[in-house]
């Protein structure tokens, strides 16, 4: 398995534009997590899914953020409209049961 795959690796966009981050979890994993990492706030849990169902989205900052998992092999995190304060590294991670989590390489988002 190639591990957790995120795309794009880097994204630079203008304020107000829609941004879509993508994640392909490891096959067979039933948990998927989205995190945002900044120097100020550390590694924040935004939302997690179990068997494609969103379980806890209390970490999603505001209505501009949304996440979906239409099937077991794909998830998206969308920001619309984007703002400069959304600039961060966004990680996706997957896990099989209550075991170790595997992280993707991350997407570095810059909103100008």
Partner 1 sequence: GQQVMQIPQYQHVQEGEDFTTYCNSSTTLSNIQWYKQRPGGHPVFLIQLVKSGEVKKQKRLTFQFGEAKKNSSLHITATQTTDVGTYFCAGNNNDMRFGAGTRLTVKP
109 - beta bridge partners? 11, 88
Phi, psi values for residue 98, rounded to 5°: -100, 50
Q: How far apart are CB 22 and partner 1 at their closest, in Å? A: 16
CB of 43 to partner 1, least distance (A): 4
Question: Which of residues 58 and 71 has its CB atom nearest to partner 1 in the complex?
Answer: 58
Do 67 and 47 meet the contact criterion of CB atoms below 8 Å apart?
Answer: yes
Phi/psi for 12 (5° steps) reads: -120, 125
Instruction: Give the residue with the Cβ less far from partner 1, 82 or 95.
Output: 95
| Contacts to partner 1 by CB under 8 A | 31, 33, 35, 42-43, 45, 48, 50, 55-56, 58, 91, 93, 95, 98-106
């Amino acid at each position: 398995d190639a591990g957790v795959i995120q795309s794009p690796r880097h994204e630079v966009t203008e304020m107000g534009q829609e941004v879509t981050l993508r994640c392909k979890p490891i096959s067979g994993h039933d948990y998927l997590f989205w995190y945002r990492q900044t120097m100020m706030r550390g590694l924040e849990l935004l939302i997690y899914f179990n068997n494609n169902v969103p379980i806890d989205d209390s970490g999603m900052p505001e209505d501009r953020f949304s996440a979906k998992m239409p099937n077991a092999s794909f998830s998206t995190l969308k920001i619309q409209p984007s703002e400069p304060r959304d600039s961060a590294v966004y990680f996706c991670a997957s896990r099989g049961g209550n075991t170790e989590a595997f992280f993707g390489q991350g997407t570095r988002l810059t909103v100008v």
